[in-house]
Amino acid sequence: MEKPPNINSKILALTVIVSLLSVLGLIIFFLLFSIPLQATVFILSGFVFFVLSVLALYYFYHIFLTRHFLKLNEAIRLRLFPHEIPKISDQLEDEDGFKTLNERVHQMIEMREKERQNHDHIDSYRKQYLGNVSHELKTPVFNVQGYIDTLLHGGLSDPEVNVNFLKRAEASIERLINIIDDLETITQLESGTLILDKEQFDIAQLVKDIFNSLEFEASKKTYRLTLAKKYDKPILVFADPFRIRQVLVNLISNSIKYGKVEGQTTILISTLKDDVVVEVSDNGLGIDPEHLPRIFERFYRVDKGRSRAQGGTGLGLSIVKHILEAHQKSIEVQSVLGVGTTFRFSISSVEV
> In this structure, are residues 346 and 276 in contact, taking their beta carbons and an 8 Å threshold?
yes
Print pLDDT tens along the chain (352 aa).
455 555 566 666 766 777 677 767 767 776 776 767 667 766 776 677 767 776 776 666 666 667 777 777 777 777 777 666 555 454 444 555 666 777 777 777 787 888 777 776 666 656 666 666 776 778 788 888 888 888 888 778 877 778 888 888 888 888 888 788 878 887 887 777 778 899 999 999 999 999 999 998 898 888 999 999 989 899 999 999 999 999 999 999 989 988 888 899 999 999 888 899 999 999 988 888 888 888 888 777 666 544 445 555 678 888 899 899 989 999 999 999 888 999 999 999 886 5
DSSP category for residue 349: B
Q: Is 33 helix (H, G, I), strand (E, B) or coil?
A: coil
Question: Virtual CA dihedral for 309, 310, 313, 316, nearest 10 degrees?
Answer: -150
Which whole-number Å values give the CA distances from 311 to 136, 176, 258, in the listed order?
11, 10, 11
> Beta-carbon neighbour count of residue 203 at 10 Å?
23
pLDDT at 96: 59
Q: Is 144 helix (H, G, I), strand (E, B) or coil?
A: helix
Which whole-number Å values give the CA distances from 333 to 198, 280, 321, in the listed order?
25, 10, 11
Bridge partner list, 279: 268, 344
pLDDT at 125: 59
pLDDT at 200: 95
> Beta-carbon neighbour count of residue 156 at 10 Å?
14
Q: Is 44 helix (H, G, I), strand (E, B) or coil?
A: helix
Vertex 88 angle, CA 86 and 90, to 5°: 135
pLDDT at 297: 81
Four-residue CA torsion sign, 158, 164, 170, 172: negative
> Element (H or E) spanning 345, and its range?
strand 340-348
> In this structure, are residues 267 and 278 in contact, taking their beta carbons and an 8 Å threshold?
yes
> In this structure, are residues 172 and 143 in contact, taking their beta carbons and an 8 Å threshold?
yes
Q: Does the model's pTM come out above 0.75?
A: no
